[in-house]
Amino acid sequence: MMRRDRLFLAVTLIAIFSADLYFILLPKLRSLGRGSRQFCSCGPNNLTLPGQGGLATPQLSNWTSASPRVGITADPADGGSKLGRLFAHPLYNIQIPAVGPEESLLQVEQLMEYYRRKVSRWERHMKLYSEAAAVSNITVPEREVTFDPDASWLKFHLGISRYALYSRDDPAIPQLLKDMEGMIVISADYTQDEKALKGACDCTQVVKPSGHHLKLALKMRNFAKAMFKPMRQQRDEETPADFFYFVDFQRHNAEIAAFHLDRILDFRRVPPVAGRLVNLTGEVLRATHNEDLRAVFFTSPANNTCFFAKCLYVCKTEYAVCGNPDLLEGSLSAYLPGLSIAPRISIPNPWIRSYTFTGREEWEVNPFYCDTIRQLYPYNSGNRLLNIIDMSIFDFLIGNMDRHHYEIFTKFGDEGFLLHLDNARGFGKHSQDEMSILAPLSQCCMIKRSTLLRLQLLAQPEFRLSDLMRESLEGDPLRPILTEPHLLALDRRLQKILRVVQRCVRRLGKNEVITKDFFKSTAIPQTATEMKKTR
Amino acid sequence: MMRRDRLFLAVTLIAIFSADLYFILLPKLRSLGRGSRQFCSCGPNNLTLPGQGGLATPQLSNWTSASPRVGITADPADGGSKLGRLFAHPLYNIQIPAVGPEESLLQVEQLMEYYRRKVSRWERHMKLYSEAAAVSNITVPEREVTFDPDASWLKFHLGISRYALYSRDDPAIPQLLKDMEGMIVISADYTQDEKALKGACDCTQVVKPSGHHLKLALKMRNFAKAMFKPMRQQRDEETPADFFYFVDFQRHNAEIAAFHLDRILDFRRVPPVAGRLVNLTGEVLRATHNEDLRAVFFTSPANNTCFFAKCLYVCKTEYAVCGNPDLLEGSLSAYLPGLSIAPRISIPNPWIRSYTFTGREEWEVNPFYCDTIRQLYPYNSGNRLLNIIDMSIFDFLIGNMDRHHYEIFTKFGDEGFLLHLDNARGFGKHSQDEMSILAPLSQCCMIKRSTLLRLQLLAQPEFRLSDLMRESLEGDPLRPILTEPHLLALDRRLQKILRVVQRCVRRLGKNEVITKDFFKSTAIPQTATEMKKTR
């Protein structure tokens, strides 16, 4: 009996000690070891690329292994910010030429004039409305607007250039995010698309999905405008396997996460998006003058404020969204400048999917589809096709199969960047990597050098994409925005993108696949030098 | 160290021993004790009620305590069948007068003639169809029908009397359930309601709910017809708190469970329902001649066969149902005789709810509503109001708030029993007991004596409703039909019904509340005697 006791105790203690050793001591020892080997101290102004075999000169054969060749930095938990180090990295500090008037989307005077007109029209309308209300003995809540020439949304609009929606260090962007999170809503209405529909049910139009019908335009006190998409799905819910991409829910958290990812990829083609707890009664129902919108509000059996979609669901509430009792999570996407001062065109994606149950588009069946596209205007010159490939990489990372159109600002012509609007169908399934989204990359076998370099950087442990996203999304008031499986899927998908490029390079050679960006090399001496090295 | 070892070991052993004692030995000892005290051996022909203060003579003050006053029988796990004992109980063996021709819904000759006509019409149609197909060089799967004068569905139809849909010991009912589970489907089509809709979207008709649009009529080889309602919800999903009753999903398992509950309550007003795994491709898509129905089938991205609803969802697949890849659970409810030979009328429930977001019906605001109803034809005489109260008890138990109409066979006039059709909106929330469903009972303060006696019996541990339901539902091929929380909710709700009756009795006295059933006392001597005793 005594011996057995001892044996039992010994076994237990050994088990506990082994677990302790494996899970607690070893990781500590490892991180200590790492700390001592840390040598990369890229300060925010340090533009020199790391030396011996740095990130900018990857060994193609070693791309996907993500080995810690460059200095491993400390964990964010240790106080450092991976995101800060990323944005301080030379790849994120390539200088672009000074933006001249022709390279800006808008001129200050033009935008101010537009803003002034809008404010005075609002005030005129409000006066008439109040007078009418007074006649009917109704008290209308006072909704004062402020004309603020320093408003962050104005700065955002003024910062849009032919290169991107905002520059990397523009302080207006964090300010705009903050403003959207907290500013007073003075008006809520359907978006222009919704108004165009007028509640009609065009069942031949399968592309127009249900989620659209619940988005609203909110106007803030300083005339900032944002598109509100309400929460319709829990963070841990996955899109059912039987859903077609065109009937999937729109996810407010996907809109938020897509903005952060686009910024981390340095594309800057997604307008700023912030999460916000919106008061459906105070900030939407009481803030709208649209009777149609008022009519879709109701109180649920659980005494929550809800609203449902026009059109298909005009008499259905199953798929309404409800506050608790009034507060509902949603994404607020900053509006782009109005189409009257900054016209855009919407162009069908050459890799558009068939929005039917059985149809297949040519690209799905013809492996040489890209050879056709390459010869067609506007994909036959400039970097338009490369931009489409960037977009497919972005969509593959977020898992968005619903990119049927893209938009560009007409001012910048065919060389303008592509806007990555409407990303709410991303982040539906973390467990599936839909390789067909990468068709533009895998069929055309080309990629911008600058994009590839950043992707390689984000595949390194010290700049691991999931870590950067986790950190970046921590800044949103609705955190956590993505579940861990979705964050980890980003790393896995990034590896798959790099493997597709690798296969292309093996088949066609680097010179064919990795395409020089159309930067003026004089303006980016250091990086241009580095680029030559990588060849 | 040694002492600590021993202490540790001692504590562990004591813990294990206590657990063993509590969970294994004690229950065994208890069941042994029970076994020795078992004295109720009600055989199927034993009509004498148990003696000393038996079930038929409850003490009102002790109603809801469910104390084991009558013999506690062994657990079904020990080999006994609670359900068998229930159906052998005198309360379930009250003799009704022999059913004469006027008390039967249908006559044999009439039904046989109808059946023969249907079969020959089908054969004629099939011949034409095959010829047309042959001309177009299409091979049509042979769908032979059998004329079977012994078919269980015929016996079910012939067994419908003025008292109930079937008699307690009718062997045709289990046979019909078995047939529905396994018989070859020769045809699938929309139901008549669906055809009447013709895919129109009448948005003013909020009552017509989405789930309706997915139900189908299946015809079996021997011409048995059943209504198929596909699975749309997992067993453990609860109706969200924000859903109105009129937009809740229809649940196939609720249809199945409602049939079993109705039989256990001895109402026998729900047509037989069986679960079945239906092959959507083989038994629906290939079995239909209706082009509209064919048109709503599609293959999902996960390669499953799916179909979606007409009308509101004509271009939506979010809310389609899908097989895996072809098989889908569903409920099959036996059809009642056709309206041409057994007409029924549909009558609005006096306690109908408002099918709008904000509306309230009179019964919801007027506590004396029943006094009005009592004076109105047909509720002013006979047992029509008592039947409404029975129905409200049934609906309260299943949690069905959607009883907007009820149907009766016109042949039996105002004294006919109420059909409890369409129970798929039951069993939505196990955690909520919707007391408003009991309004007919709580406002009118009356109940049939026979109903009350059975409810009291089912509140006894040896006939516990949840145990009976668990056992009864075990017979369905789609078991488990209800989750444990739903089963246990039945016991809790039963107690609440009994408490409502108890309060009525306290207020108005037994004679006012507990109403004699309209049985001829000569035909049921023993139970009539017992009933007098309970007074």
Does A297 contact B at CB distance below 8 Å?
A: no
Contacts of B322 in chain A (CB under 8 A): 242
What pLDDT is attached to residue B97? 76
Give the mean pLDDT of B62-89: 60
Which spans in A90-170 are helix H? 108-135, 152-158
Min CA distance, A305 vs chain B (Å)? 9
Contact B318 A247 (CB under 8 A): yes
Q: Considering just the CA atoms, what is the radius of gyration of chain B in Å?
A: 26
Q: Which pairing describes strands A447-448 and A514-515: parallel, antiparallel, or unpaired?
A: parallel
Q: What is the mean pLDDT of residues B33-51?
A: 36
CA dihedral for A314, A316, A318, A323, sign (positive or negative): positive
- Cα–Cα distance measured from residue A218 to residue A187, given in angstroms and rounded to the nearest whole number: 6
Task: Report yes or no: A226 and A152 within 8 Å, Cβ to Cβ.
Answer: no
Closest residue of B to A300, CA-based?
Answer: B242
Best to test chain B binding among A197, A231, A237, A242 (most B CBs inside 10 Å): A242
Nearest one of A96, A80, A97 to A44, comparing CA atoms: A80
Contact A216, A293 (CB under 8 A): yes
Could you tell me which residues are beta bridge partners of residue B307? Answer: B297, B321
d(CA B400, CA B262): 13
Are B318 and A204 a contacting pair at CB < 8 A? no
Residues of chain B with Cβ-Cβ distance to A249 below 8 Å are 318
CA–CA separation, B155 vs B272, rounded Å? 12
| Candidates A7, A318, A326, partner chain B, best to mutate (most B CBs within 10 A) | A318
> How far does chain B reach from its first CA to its final CA, in angstroms?
74
Backbone φ and ψ of B526, nearest 5°? -65, -50
d(CA B494, CA B457) in angstroms, rounded, equals 11
Do the chains contact at A306 and B5, CB–CB below 8 Å? no
> Which residues of chain A are under the pLDDT cut of 70?
1-79, 140-141, 194-213, 310-319, 518-535
In this structure, are residues B304 and B323 in contact, taking their beta carbons and an 8 Å threshold? yes
B312/A313 CB distance under 8 A: yes
| Residue B77, min C-alpha distance to chain A (Å) | 39
Closest-CA distance, A351 to chain B, in angstroms, reads 18
Closest by Cα among A187, A197, A402, A226 to A309: A197
Q: For residues B383 and A197, which has the higher predicted lDDT (pLDDT)?
A: B383
- Chain A, residues 192-221, CB within 8 A of chain B, namely 201, 203-206, 210
Helical pair A384-398 and A484-508, crossing angle rounded to 10 deg: 140
Query: Is the pTM above the cut of 0.90?
Result: no
Contact (Cβ atoms closer than 8 angstroms) between residue B441 and residue B447: yes
C-alpha dist (Å) from residue A492 to A366, A465, A498: 27, 10, 10
Chain B residues with CB under 8 Å of A355 CB are none
What ipTM goes with this model? 0.73
d(CA B277, CA A427): 33
From the list B298, B302, B318, the residue facing A241 with the nearest CB is: B302
Does the distance separating the beta carbons of A243 and B318 come in below 8 Å?
yes
pLDDT digits (tens, 9 = 90+) for B282-294: 999 999 988 888 9
Cα of A29 to nearest chain B Cα, Å: 31
Q: What is the pLDDT of residue A204?
A: 42
CB contact under 8 A, B242 and A312: no
Tens digit of each residue's pLDDT (9 = 90 or more) over B479-529: 999 999 999 999 999 999 999 999 999 999 999 999 987 443 333 334 433
Residue A322 at interface with chain B, using a CB cutoff of 8 Å: yes
Cα A311 to Cα A205: distance, rounded to the nearest angstrom: 12
pLDDT at A197: 56
Quote the CA–CA distance of A324 and A309 in Å, as a whole number. 18
B210–A318: do the CB atoms touch at under 8 Å? yes
Question: What is the rounded CA–CA span in Å between residue B129 and residue A106?
Answer: 69
Give ∠ CA A240-A329-A257 in degrees, rounded to 5: 65
| Interface check B318 vs A, CB under 8 A | yes
pLDDT score recorded for residue B18: 54
Contacts of A203 in chain B (CB under 8 A): 314-315
Q: Answer whether A224's CB lies under 8 Å from A181's CB.
A: no
- Search chain B and give the residue with CA nearest A325: B242
Return the amino acid letter for B131: E
Q: Are B353 and B404 in contact (CB under 8 A)?
A: yes
Going by C-beta distance under 8 Å and a sequence separation of 6 or more, which residues neighbour residue B214?
Answer: B229, B230, B232, B250, B307, B308, B309, B321
**Do residues B31 and A27 touch, judged by C-beta distance below 8 A?**
no
Least-confidence region, from A50-59, A336-345, B27-36, B359-368:
A50-59
Q: What is the tens place of the pLDDT at every residue in B303-357? A: 999 988 754 433 444 468 899 999 999 999 999 999 999 999 999 999 999 877 7
- Inform me whether the pLDDT recorded for B211 exceeds 50: no
Three-state DSSP at B53 gives coil
Partners of A307 in the β-ladder: A297, A321
